[in-house]
Structure 1
Amino acid sequence: MVLMPSGLMLFLGAWGIRRQDAVWRDEAVTYDMAHRSLADLWPTLQHVDVVHGLYYVLMHCWFLVYDATLGDVLGAVIGLRLPSVAAMTAAAAGVALLGQRLVGRRAGLLAGLTFALVPVVQQYAQEGRSYATVCALIVWASYLLVLAAARPRRKLWLGYTALMLCACLLHEFASLALPAHGAAVVLARLPRRVLRAWLLSAATVLAGLAPLAVFSTRQSAQISWLMWPDPVQLLTFAVLAVLGIACSRVRVRSRGPIGLRALGLPLLLLPTLLLLLLSHVEPAYVDRYVLYYVVGFALLAGAALARLLRPAGELGQTRGRRLRWTLAVVLVLAVLLPVDGHLRSPDSRVDDVTAVAHAVRAMSEPGDGLLFTPARRRIWRATLPHEFRGLHDLALAKSPAASHTLYGTERSGDAIRARMLAARRIVVAGDPDGAPADDNDQEIAKRATLHDAFTVCRSTVVRGARITLYARPGACRGGW
Structure 2
Amino acid sequence: MSVDQRGPTVARTVSPLVPARRPSPSPARAVVVIAPLALTIALGLWGIRRKNSMWGDESVTYQLAHRDLSQIWRTVQHVDLVHALYYTVMHEIFGLFGGGLLTLRLPSVLAMSVAASGVGLLGLRLAGSHVGLLAGLVFPLLPQVQKYAQEGRSYAMVCALVTWATYALVVGVPQRARWRWVVYGSTMLLACLLHEFAVLALVAHGVTLVVSRASRPVLRAWSVAAAGVVAGLLPLAICSAGQSEQVAWIGGPVRLWYFVVVAVVGVACAGAPLGVRGPVRLSALAVPMLVLPGLLLLIVSLVKPLFVDRYVLYSDIGTALLLGAWMDHVHRLQRSSRTTWIAAVAVLAALVPSSLSLRTPQSRSNDVTAIGAAVRKEGRPGDGLLYLAGQHRILTAANSEDTRSLTDLALAQDPVSSNTLAGVELPARDIAARMLEFDRIVAVRAVGVNSPTNPQEEAKTSTLRRYFREYETTHVNGARVTIYVRDHAPSPEAGPGPGGPGASGGVMR
When normalised by structure 1's length, the TM-score is 0.93
Q: 1:430 to 1:62 in 2, by over 3 A?
A: same
Q: After superposing the two structures, state which structure 1 stretch, 449-458 or 147-156, moved more.
A: 449-458
1:472 counterpart letter in structure 2: R
Structure 1: gaps of 5 or more residues:
475-480
1:433-444 map, 5 Å? 435-444=449-458
Deviation at 1:410, TM superposition (A): 0.5
Counterpart of 1:15 (choices 35, 46, 66) is 46
C-alpha distance in 2 between matches for 1:49 and 1:23: 19
Match of 1:477 in 2: none
Q: 2:474 is matched with which residue?
A: 460
Give the deviation of 1:116 after TM superposition: 0.8
**2:116–2:137 Cα contact (<8 Å) kept:** yes
Aligned to 1:244: 266
**Deviation readout 1:415-453 (Å, 9 max, x if unpaired):** 000000011211111123x65343211111111111111
Q: Number of matched residues? A: 457
TM-score scaled by length of structure 2: 0.88
Could you tell me how far apart the structure 2 residues matched to 1:375 and 1:99 are?
48
Corresponding residue for residue 267 of structure 1: 289
Query: In the alignment, residue 458 of structure 2 is paired with which amino acid?
Result: I
What is aligned with 1:409?
424
Task: Specify which of 96, 104, 107 is matched with residue 65 of structure 1.
Answer: 96
Distance 2:119 2:340 in 1: 23
The two structures, once aligned, show a CA RMSD in angstroms of 1.2
Matched, 1:27 2:63: no
Deviation string 1:204-257 (CA, Å, 9 cap, x unpaired) is 000000000011111111111111113xx2221111111111111221222211
Aligned to 1:353: 368
1:198 and 2:198 aligned: no
Greater helix content: 1
Q: Contact 1:31 / 1:382 at 8 angstroms: preserved in 2?
A: no
Larger Rg: 2
More RCO (CA 8 Å, sep 6+):
1
Alignment correspondent of 1:298: 320
Report deviation, 1:473. 3.7
Question: Displaced runs of 4+ in structure 1, greater than 6 A?
Answer: none
Contact residue 458 and residue 468 of structure 1 kept, 8 A: yes
Retained in 2: the 8 A contact 1:455–1:470?
yes
Partner residue in 2 for 1:84: 108
Aligned-partner Cα distance in 2 for 1:255–1:324: 27
Partner residue of 1:327? 342
Taking only the aligned residue pairs, the percentage that are identical comes to: 51
After superposition, give the CA deviation of every residue in 1:182-221 in whole Å (9 maximum; x if it has no partner): 0111111111101100000000000000000011111111
Q: Please give the residue correspondences for 1:306-385 in structure 2 after superposition, counting only pairs within 5 Å.
A: 306-310=328-332, 315=333, 317-319=334-336, 322-385=337-400
Instruction: Output the CA distance in 1 between the equivalents of 2:77 and 2:340.
Output: 54
> Is residue 2:285 matched to residue 1:254?
no
2:71 paired residue number: 40
Q: Retained in 1: the 8 A contact 2:249–2:449?
A: no
Contact 1:428–1:469 at 8 Å: present in 2 too? yes
Alignment-mate amino acid for residue 57 of structure 2: D
Unaligned runs of 5+ residues in structure 2 are: 1-31, 489-509
Contact 1:369 1:426 in 2 (8 A): yes
Cα distance 1:132–1:435, how it changes in 2: closer, same or farther (>3 A)?
closer
Q: Which residue of 1 aligns with 2:7?
A: none
Q: Report the AA paired with residue 179 of structure 1.
A: V
The answer to whether the 8 A contact 2:389-2:452 is kept is yes
Q: Tell me the distance in 1 between the aligned counterparts of 2:470 and 2:301.
A: 41
Question: Does the 8 Å contact 2:444/2:479 carry over to 1?
Answer: yes
Separation (CA, whole Å) in 2 of partners of 1:235 and 1:449: 41
Distance (whole Å) between structure 1 residues aligned to residue 103 and residue 324 of structure 2: 32
* 1:56 lines up with 2:87 in the alignment: yes
Larger deviation: 362-371 or 196-205? Answer: 362-371
